A and B are shown apart, each in its own frame.
Chain A
Amino acid sequence: MIEFALASFVLIPLFVGTFQFGYTFYVYNLLCTQMRAGARYASLKTFKGSGVDAFKTSVKNMVMYGNPDGTGTLIEPGLTAGQIDVEVKSAAGVDASATVVPSYVTVTTINYSVNAVITSFNFNGKPIVRFPYLGRYAPAE
């Protein structure tokens, strides 16, 4: 009993620390996968001049749910649309629009916090994934 009590001073923090980092790594790994899926989807999705917001919403849904409609189960625990940043830029780094031709897409996080029980880890701008824009540019639609 005494031995366990003494050992627990080492073991419990070790187990808790392992859990915290292990869980955070798990979430971050999942986040990497979903960000890439979102960026790939965005890189091929038609960019309509009048539907920039809808474009970004569907990309965020792809990140959160694995489909552009936003149906099914949330893949990433606790991740909200407001914590995902989708940017579609021209080669010069200007936001794409009905008059600015898209060149690349970037998907990343905005202050996404992972609750690892004892402490939280905050991800802001990480992971960030950038893909060339290869979709159909439809400024008149």
Chain B
Amino acid sequence: MDLGRMYITKNEAQSFADSAALYAAQLLDGTPTGLTNADNAVATNPNKWNFGTSAFSGTITEYSADGATNWQTSDKVTAAQALNIRYVRVTPVVSNVALFFLPVTGTSTTATVKAQAVGGQVLLGCTTCTSSTSSSTPPGGAGSSSGPPVLFPYSPIANVNATSSSGLPTSGDPFGFTPGTQYDLKWPTSATVGTLGNNKVPCAGDNNAAMVNRESGASSHLGEIVLNSASAISNDILTLDDAVGVSVSIDQSVNPTTGDKNKEVKALNDRAAQDTDNSSLTYANYSGNGRRLITVIVNNGFADSTGAAYSSDKQAIGLGYAQFLLLPTGSYTQSGGANNPWCAIYVGPSPSVDTPKTGGGGANGRGVGVVRLTH
């Protein structure tokens, strides 16, 4: 009987831990405030024990950057460390399960029961993403346990002069981007600096001479990568999840493809509509289910900031992975044909790519793939 109650308590604690870890992981945004919010989400989780009558108390909530080591409670995490926190471990402890029969054997009159769950913000596609540069056909990707992450079939251009990942700046944002600012997933044809919203004017973050120079020479390469047909790209946009997407390694060509495929507009808008937060314009405010969050590979463009073209084997080289937030549904239009840019909001460099130049944060947060239980 007593053992039965302990098993039930353990089971109830596991439900609590799983739920609380997911709720908390959603709130990690790279700031100490995010940790506080996560602590509160655990404390207020509605799942209970003792046949659903007693709230959990004494729960231990810890945080880690990699989900495996250096677990710390929020009061021990510094602001600098908070930037990298993506995992939360919840350990509900019930120390007062009353025992009625076992004490006759000499045990205590109460028992302690624990459970544990780890929730985290994980990249789509691979579980231990690496930046293999050894093969033009990268390992990993969809459904793999290693290799490059599953990617959105677009590649923004970095705001730095570099022809390989080793040329990225070692301080500040590796791509020269500003979190919360919009950059081009797809560039307008013959882009020119001008008033936002006008034909041929790129997105806000790219609306300057240096970025337009970097895109010059792109010819009909406007942003799509790897896939060529509109239907394949549209399918990838709509279905990108843990198992579907393109894979490109860092320091390899991102394989830019040609054409302005306006059929993709519907797919972009439909994907945005699938998000439970279809209005936030910053990641700090975002609280959706991840459908608007996408992982892309950022490339170096076709020329440097002065417009001096890179040699052909140094053009459109993948420099690193990043997270972007798609705009709310309806934001992607085809009224101007190829003259329209398609923008997305920069969140930050991707968190779990195994290179020293990525894995950083961003003023508005970490950048996530999806929130999942990892343990």
B1 touches A21 (CB 8 A): yes
Tell me which residues across on chain B come within 8 A of A139, comparing CB atoms: 273-274
B4 in contact with A33 (CB, 8 Å): no
The interface residues of chain A lying within 8 Å CB-to-CB of B7 are 25, 29
Most buried by A among B15, B241, B270: B15
Contact of B4 among A25, A36, A129, A133 (CB under 8 A): A25
Interface size on A, residues (CB 8 A): 33
B: contact size bracket? 35 or more
Q: Which of B5, B274, B278 has the most CB of A within 10 A?
A: B274
Chain B contacts for A26, CB-based, 8 A:
4
Q: Chain A 110-140, CB within 8 Å of chain B: the 1/0 string?
A: 0000000000000001111111111111111
Question: Are A132 and B23 in contact, CB atoms less than 8 angstroms apart?
Answer: yes
Instruction: Tell me if B276 is interfacial: C-beta within 8 Å of chain A.
Output: yes
Give Cα distance in the complex from A130 to B19, angstroms.
7
- Binary interface encoding of chain B residues 155-196 relative to chain A, with 1 for a CB under 8 A from any of its CBs, else 0: 000000000000000000000000000000000000000000
Are A29 and B8 in contact, with the CB atoms below 8 A? yes
> Does B289 interact with chain A (Cβ within 8 Å)?
yes
Residue B88 lies at the interface, judged by CB distance under 8 Å to chain A: no
Cβ contact of A127, chosen from B19, B23, B52, cutoff 8 A = B52
- Is A134 within 8 A of B289, CB to CB? yes
Indicate if B370 sits at the interface (CB-CB under 8 A): yes
Q: Are A129 and B47 in contact, with the CB atoms below 8 A? A: yes
Using Cβ atoms and an 8 Å threshold, which residues of chain B touch A28? Answer: 8, 51
Name the one of A35, A103, A129, A131 contacting B276, with C-beta atoms under 8 angstroms. Answer: A103
A135 to B371, CA, bound (A): 10
A66, CB-defined interface residue at 8 Å: no
Q: Is A18 an interface residue (CB 8 A)?
A: yes
The reply to whether B274 and A137 contact each other, CB–CB distance below 8 Å, is: yes
Which residues of chain B have a CB within 8 Å of any CB of chain A?
1, 4-5, 7-8, 11-12, 14-15, 18-19, 22-23, 26, 45-48, 51-52, 241, 270, 273-278, 289-291, 370-373
Q: Which 7 A-B pairs have the closest CB atoms?
A: A25-B4, A32-B11, A36-B15, A126-B52, A101-B276, A129-B15, A29-B8
Q: List 7 A-B contacts (CB under 8 A).
A: A25-B1, A25-B8, A33-B11, A40-B373, A128-B47, A130-B19, A130-B45
List 12 additional A-B contacts (Cβ < 8 Å) besides A25-B8, A28-B8, A36-B11. Answer: A21-B1, A32-B11, A39-B19, A101-B277, A129-B47, A130-B45, A130-B47, A132-B19, A136-B291, A137-B276, A137-B289, A140-B273
